[in-house]
Amino acid sequence: MKLFRSIRFNIILGALIALLSAVGTFLPQTSTSPDKVEFYRLLHPLGFKILNFFGAFNLYQTWWFMGLLGLMAFDIIICKLWNKPPDISATALPPENTNEEEIEKHWSQREEALRLKPFQSSMDSSLAFDEAFTKARAFFERAGYAVHDEFHSPAGAAFLATKHRLQRWGSYIAHIALVVILIGAFINALYGFVEMAPVMEGTTVAMKRRPWTLSVDKFTVHFYHGTFQPSLFSSVLRVKAGDKLIGAKTIRVNHPLDIHGVRFYQASWGAAGMFRSVTLNLAGSFLTLRQRVPKKVPGSPFSVEADVLMPDFTVANGHADTASLDLKNPAVRFLFSIEGKPTPPLWLFALYPKVCLKENPDGTLLHAEAPPFSLVSVDPVLFSGIQVAYDPGYPWVVTGVLLWVLGLVLLFYFHRRRFWALLEPGQNGKTKISIGAWSSRGGRDFEKEFNRLTGEMKSHLDFK
């Protein structure tokens, strides 16, 4: 157990978990971004094999990461929470004994222990012993201190006065909070899941982790004027278990659908190459085309067919490709023919009407002169990216966070103070008072309060 009590071991363990969590944040995870994991595999095949061998793309569910969390929980429970929290500097003065010789012996130990307190003061009172003891005790109670651990003997009497004693539980509660949060993480890793479900508008897909189906009846996206940057997107979502409808809602960002603890988020959207129609501007007249449906150009021997859409057009190895599924640079491939004889395909761009690329038979692209027509609009068939998440550990994590806040409040905003008072009968009916004090904060912060309280005792309780 000595290893677990080592501060160095705890720091290294916490830093290691934090570092691995950072790796899991920067690397795409299979549960949330399977497309990005596949993209990483294509770009870095060797690096992917190495990282995947250690489970880096499913990091939070690996046995070794769960083992590190378990080790931290074990460390906290065994070495921090096994016993109740120690009450630093709260050890009482030596206890009462029934044997008179022992009483005298331990009374001297009380005086010696009092002299070890960081703050000390002594005074003499003209009051009789019993009255002085009663008034001293009442004085601290009026000042907001809880008086306890009273001790009476023939040699005198003593008591302990404490304010904000709850502070000693702050660190203890904070460590309990960490264990509760770790329990939540374990429950989520064992029983929770996150999956992405891209659903084309008007279609239905089956979930992987539940016997449910998701249907997007309508997907709506609004763009900022003159751009393809979305200002709002939403889905009319229906969830069924067999033939039974178990949930329906129009979901959008930050407005999910909840069913039995499973949450459906509007996470993303995109275009996958399909479109309802495109419109060409032919010298002032407009021609609307449906996908892969040839159409005669009025007043000419040409026929034209809109073939495929690249939502974010780019060139890869000389060929047409898309950098993403977002409509950042939509381009459409057009197939022209003259009296049935095909001409080389042309790529036209919605955002750049004067740019035109010609496609060779082998698929390579060349720049071409701007034709007397342009692509003016695209009505793409979009898919809705639904993120489905189930986190049964969420209530545990929330409870842990609240406990953590409570622990920090107790630890940093409750200033614990302790006063020890020893009263001894003096000569001529007087009473000797010895005061020792301790504070959980630095001496400079507590010194003013100590001087104020001892000064008030002297002036208001007939102490000299």
Q: Tokens for 2? A: 């000595």
The reported pLDDT for the residue numbered 90 is 40
- Nearest Cα to 139, choosing from 425, 415, 433? 433
* pLDDT tens readout for residues 363-391: 999 999 888 889 999 988 888 989 999 99
Query: Identity (one letter) of the amino acid at 271?
Result: A
347: part of which helix (H) or strand (E)? strand 346-349
Q: Tokens for 24? A: 């899991």
* pLDDT tens readout for residues 1-49: 667 667 777 788 888 888 888 888 888 887 777 767 877 887 788 888 8
Classify 62 as helix, strand or coil.
coil
pTM of the model: 0.64
- Nearest Cα to 348, choosing from 321, 328, 370? 370
Distance CA 149, CA 165 (A): 14
The values of phi and psi at residue 289, to 5°, are: -120, 140
Number of C-alpha atoms within 13 angstroms, CB side, residue 176? 17
- Nearest Cα to 308, choosing from 295, 286, 324, 289? 289
Of 117 and 184, the structure prediction assigns the larger pLDDT to: 184
* pLDDT tens readout for residues 52-103: 888 888 888 788 888 888 888 877 777 666 665 555 444 444 443 344 444 4
Distance CA 292, CA 287 (A): 14
For the chain, give the mean pLDDT. 85
Question: Is residue 349 a contact partner of residue 330, using CB atoms and an 8 Å limit?
Answer: yes
226: burial class by Cβ within 10 Å (0-12, 13-18, 19+)?
exposed
The values of phi and psi at residue 42, to 5°, are: -70, -35
pLDDT class of 427 with cuts at 50, 70, 90: confident
User: β-strands 295-296, 302-310: how paired?
Assistant: antiparallel
Classify 426 as helix, strand or coil.
coil
